[in-house]
Amino acid sequence: MIEEKFAEGRSFIHKLDPKIRIIASIVLSFAAALCDNFYIALGYFIISIILITLAGLNRVDVLKRLKPLFWFLLMIWIILPVTFDGEILYRYHWLKITGPGVILSCNITIKSISILLVFTALIATMTIAALGNGLHRLYVPDKMVFLLLMTYRYIFVIEEEYKRLLRAAKFRGFKPGTNVHSYKTFAYLAGMLFVRASLRAQRVHQAMLCRGFNQKFHTLDDYPPNRLNSIFLMGISVAGLSLVIFEIMWP
Amino acid sequence: MHISEGVLSGPVLASGAVLALAGTAIGLKKIDYDHIVHVSILASAFFVASLIHVNIGPSSVHLILNGIVGLLLGFAAIPAILTALLLQSVLFQYGGLTALGVNVVVMAFPAVLVHYLFRPLLGKSPTLTFVGGFLAGMVSIMLSSLLLGLALWFTDKNFFETSLTIIIAHIPVMIIEGIVTGFCVSFLLKVYPEIIPVKK
């Protein structure tokens, strides 16, 4: 089931203007992604943990969301240390573990976790409607914002269609397996999703025109100016900038 | 098919972002307000279809279907795929912001290419339609995994083995996507041919 688990909350982060949160998360993510020093990356990791704590998110839920990332990191840890060239730390017959491989794996692990945590704390804590609003006020083209909001709106409807089609297939004794019949069934199922999506789009478009749609979405949320916003953005910028300067100065 | 955060180098991330931005701008230009609802809801369908898991031996893989999106939408596939990826990040935390550009290039550019390569085959005969769909599905995944491998390789030449592993691991996915896309396109042309206007 698709849900916006983190979007509801009453924390300090939830109260910030979406625009500010988008800018802060872009600044921090790119600063962290471009960092090559393990100790500096730890700094970003600490910032990301602080942000998650400020957002008051349930730690277990956050860890569950990171599961796909952990699988990816496991793959990195299996492949990189044995395939990288460099100083050999440990050798067992033909298998050798190299220093640079291990260092790079550590770096990737800490950086990818920090970036995802920053994203979770700042972006996943807003509804998609708020994200669209923030993007719009950051001068993202209207069409792009429209596409985002409209796609999000219909994901749930199409997911219901998918469940209905799958249920119907199961009632008829469909058991998925590794064979052409199963692939064909899933192909028809996906095809039916596209057909229903297209037909629904026509009806939705007509309905919108009937209601006087003039190519604009108006937002009902508004975010009164709040001193917290500028303080937060200032704090993030200072923290990010000092880490960047620290990395450049690092001997 | 995603590249995670924190792996790629600055120049690769920057080129990905620039290419994705340019592609999205072209894609948005091609969508007018009469079609934007259609593109949006097809993007929702793409998002949901990528939740479908198909069995492969004891394991399972999820469908990607960027080939179909490419065949249906052409250049408009770029903003549509960008939207779906962004929503995946926000709703499932599959990725963050820095690698979004590279991921859009990896997923959406092959989709646009197969649109121009294989769409002319559709609707000529049932066999050609299936073959066109199969090739669109297979080639889009093949190019995607190749682009993913290249992004890693440009980051560090030492990633060669990792890239190779990724490409080889995607061979079964290419075949499955080919079969599913082939059947799916044949189905669409039978049931609702208006969705893919073809020249006879």
Closest CA of chain A from B30, distance in Å: 11
**Which residues span the domain enclosing B21?**
10-195
Distances (CA, A) of A108 to A180, B2, B55, B160, B162: 39, 15, 31, 17, 14
pLDDT at site B56: 86
pLDDT at site B122: 92
pLDDT at site A82: 85
Backbone φ/ψ region at A129: left (φ over 0), alpha (ψ -120 to 50), beta: alpha
| Each residue's pLDDT tens digit, B22-70 | 999 999 999 988 899 999 999 999 999 988 999 888 888 899 999 999 9
Domain-embedded: residue B56: yes
Say if strands A88-92 and A95-98 run parallel, antiparallel, or are unpaired. antiparallel
Tell me phi and psi for residue A199, to 5 degrees: -65, -40
Which of B43, B188, B195 shows the shortest C-beta gap to A147?
A: B43
Q: Which of B1, B2, B4, B186 to mutate to test the interface with A (most CBs of A within 10 A)?
A: B4
State how many domains chain B has: 1
| Each residue's pLDDT tens digit, A7-16 | 888 888 888 9
- Written as one string, the DSSP assignment of A54-93 is HHT--HHHHHHHTHHHHHHHHHHHHHHHHHS-S-EEEEET
Domain-embedded: residue B3: no
Are B93 and A128 a contacting pair at CB < 8 A?
Answer: no
pLDDT at site A6: 86
Q: In chain B, which residue's Cα lies nearest the Cα of A3?
A: B91
- Roughly how many angstroms between the first and final C-alpha of chain B, as a whole number? 34
Are A198 and B51 a contacting pair at CB < 8 A?
Answer: no
pLDDT at site A3: 74
Q: Which of B144, B131, B143, B65 is nearest to A191 (CA)?
A: B65
Are B54 and A182 a contacting pair at CB < 8 A?
Answer: yes
Which of B37, B55, B184 shows the shortest C-beta gap to A150?
A: B37
| Each residue's pLDDT tens digit, A191-247 | 999 999 999 999 999 999 999 988 777 777 778 888 889 999 999 999 999 999 998
pLDDT at site B199: 60
pLDDT at site A251: 65
Chain B residues whose beta carbon lies within 8 Å of the beta carbon of residue A186? 52, 54, 63, 180
Question: Number of CB pairs < 8 Å for A and B?
Answer: 233
Domain-embedded: residue B1: no
The dihedral formed by the CA atoms of A81, A86, A90 and A93, expressed in degrees to the nearest 10: 90
User: Which amino acid is residue B145, in one-letter code?
Assistant: S
Domain-embedded: residue B4: no
| Each residue's pLDDT tens digit, B74-118 | 999 999 999 999 999 888 888 888 999 999 999 999 999 999 999
Are B4 and A107 a contacting pair at CB < 8 A?
Answer: no
Domain-embedded: residue B5: no
Q: CB under 8 Å, gap of 24 or more: what pairs does A135-140 form?
A: A135/A22, A136/A219, A137/A19, A138/A19, A138/A22, A138/A23
Say if strands A95-98 and B59-62 run parallel, antiparallel, or are unpaired. unpaired
pTM equals: 0.93
Q: Which helix or strand (DSSP H or E) is residue A48 part of?
A: helix A38-55
Q: CB under 8 Å, gap of 24 or more: what pairs does B157-162 form?
A: B158/A83, B158/A84, B158/A85, B158/A100, B158/A101, B160/A83, B161/A79, B161/A83, B162/A76, B162/A79, B162/A80, B162/A83
Q: Which of B91, B166, B173 to mutate to test the interface with A (most CBs of A within 10 A)?
A: B91
Chain B residues whose beta carbon lies within 8 Å of the beta carbon of residue A115? 5-6, 96-98
Mean pLDDT of B116-123: 93
pLDDT at site A46: 95
Taken as a whole, chain B contains a residue count of 200
| Each residue's pLDDT tens digit, B3-16 | 888 889 999 999 99
Chain B residues whose beta carbon lies within 8 Å of the beta carbon of residue A119? 89, 93, 96-97
Q: In chain B, which residue's Cα lies nearest the Cα of A209?
A: B34
pLDDT at site A80: 85
Q: Which of A66, A43, A70, A72 is nearest to A117 (CA)?
A: A66
Which residues 57-76 of A are in CB contact (within 8 Å) with B?
65-66, 68-69, 72-73, 76
| Each residue's pLDDT tens digit, A19-49 | 999 999 999 999 999 998 899 999 999 999 9
Q: In chain A, which residue's Cα lies nearest the Cα of B50?
A: A190
Residue A106 has pLDDT above 90, yes or no: yes
Are A33 and B98 a contacting pair at CB < 8 A?
Answer: yes
d(CA B138, CA A6): 37
Residue A157 forms contact with B (CB below 8 Å): yes
Q: In chain B, which residue's Cα lies nearest the Cα of A149?
A: B40
